């Protein structure tokens, strides 16, 4: 019992040492370093528990409406930041206060702020509906880069070609089955032709060489070497594979971290620190 009491005292002493110290590399909007408080620790603990309690959502599932709102809000915020920078520059240049305020208010009116507020409300509602946070959609995150990548024409062509291949597979299976009606085969063949025409249309619009979109280009007649897949097909196919692997890795990390937190909490409760752990 003495051993656990000493450990509890050490834990509380260490916690007391970090309270009141600044968080390295952080700055508040007022330009001051962020100071660690018990309230901050409780808030961070709450956020961690909420994060690990969330159901795992596949990051490759893209919500284009959220991406659109993120881009719109970022654009409006950037314009507001430019207005603030212009105001600071005018103040440094000694411009009369009345003129500074007029130009600043005119710049804000052109945004306008009501649109920014409405966009922020829409984004918050959309994120809440799918159980995601703003931090998951910051520029450079997995979700942001994935949504950005899937807006490119190459991804649309790749998905269309996958649809063509699925239609061809269905047609081949129907042909292999005895007793398939001719009308059904003609309908499947027509579907293949329609999907193929759409893929060809997308390639033509964006000026892509169909040869570079083949999963297998066959054998070079001159060297008898396997040419492999086209460059554009291989690029998108590898991107999809890496995305799926990244998803699995993220789920493993999240699961492991969640189990570690549960073990730490159980260990703390066994040692009599459960209430203190929950409070932080």
Within this chain, do residues 265 and 208 fall inside the same structural domain, yes or no? Answer: no
Burial of 80 (0-12, 13-18, 19+ CB in 10 A): middle
Q: Within a domain: residue 184?
A: yes
3-state secondary structure of 21: coil
For residues 37 and 17, state if they share a domain.
yes
Domain-located, residue 85: yes
The answer to whether residue 250 sits within a structural domain is no
pLDDT in tens, the chain (280 residues): 566 677 767 766 776 677 777 877 776 666 677 787 877 777 777 776 666 665 554 545 668 888 889 988 888 888 888 888 888 888 888 888 888 888 888 877 777 778 888 999 999 999 888 888 888 888 878 788 788 777 778 888 988 999 999 999 999 998 888 777 888 888 989 999 999 999 999 899 888 888 889 888 888 788 888 888 888 888 888 888 877 787 777 778 777 777 777 776 666 665 554 444 444 4
Per the omega criterion (within 30 degrees of 0), is the bond before 112 cis? yes
| Assigned domain for 177 exists | yes
Q: Number of folded domains in the chain?
A: 3
107 & 141 share domain: yes
Cβ-proximal residues to 49 (8 Å cutoff; 6+ apart), any chain: 261
Which of 121, 149, 177 finishes a domain? 149
Q: Domain check: are 237 and 193 in the same one?
A: yes
DSSP code for 36 = P
Are 154 and 162 a contacting pair, CB within 8 Å? no
Note the maximum CA span of the chain.
88
Of 149, 179, 206, which residue sits at a domain end? 149
pTM for the model = 0.48
Backbone φ, ψ for residue 217 (5° rounding) = -90, 5
Distance CA 166, CA 160 (A): 10
Q: Three-class SS of residue 24?
A: strand
Domain for residue 249, yes or no? no
In a domain, 157, yes or no: yes
Q: Which domain holds residue 116?
A: 64-149
Residues 36, 21 within the same domain: yes
Which residues, 6 or more positions from 258, have their beta carbon under 8 angstroms from its beta carbon?
A: 52
How far is the C-alpha of 107 from the C-alpha of 82, rounded, in Å?
9
Q: Is residue 99 part of a domain?
A: yes
Record the tokens describing residue 7, joined without a space.
Answer: 């450990």
């Amino acid at each position: 019992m003495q051993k656990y009491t000493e450990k509890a005292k050490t834990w509380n002493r260490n916690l007391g040492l970090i309270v009141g110290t600044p968080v390295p590399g952080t700055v508040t909007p007022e330009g001051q370093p962020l100071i660690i408080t018990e309230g901050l620790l409780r808030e961070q603990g709450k956020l961690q528990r909420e994060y690990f309690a969330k159901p795992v959502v596949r990051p490759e599932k893209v919500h284009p409406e959220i991406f659109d709102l993120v881009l719109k809000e970022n654009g409006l915020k950037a314009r507001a930041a430019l207005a603030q920078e212009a105001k600071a520059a005018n103040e440094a240049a000694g411009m009369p206060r009345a003129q500074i305020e007029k130009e600043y208010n005119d710049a804000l009116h052109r945004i306008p702020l009501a649109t920014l507020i409405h966009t922020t409300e829409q984004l918050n509602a959309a994120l809440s509906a799918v159980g995601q946070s703003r931090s998951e959609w910051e520029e450079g995150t997995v979700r942001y880069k994935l949504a950005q990548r899937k807006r490119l024409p190459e991804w649309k062509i790749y998905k269309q070609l996958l649809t063509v291949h699925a239609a061809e597979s269905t047609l081949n299976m129907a042909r292999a089955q005895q007793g398939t009606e001719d009308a059904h085969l003609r309908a499947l063949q027509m579907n293949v032709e329609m999907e193929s025409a759409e893929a060809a249309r997308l390639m033509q619009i964006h000026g892509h060489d169909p040869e570079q979109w083949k999963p297998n280009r066959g054998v070079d007649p001159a060297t008898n070497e396997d040419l492999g897949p086209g460059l554009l097909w291989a690029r998108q196919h590898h991107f999809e594979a890496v995305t799926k692997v990244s998803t699995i890795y993220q789920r493993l990390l999240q699961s492991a971290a969640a189990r570690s937190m549960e073990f730490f909490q159980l260990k703390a409760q066994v040692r009599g620190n459960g209430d203190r752990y929950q409070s932080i």
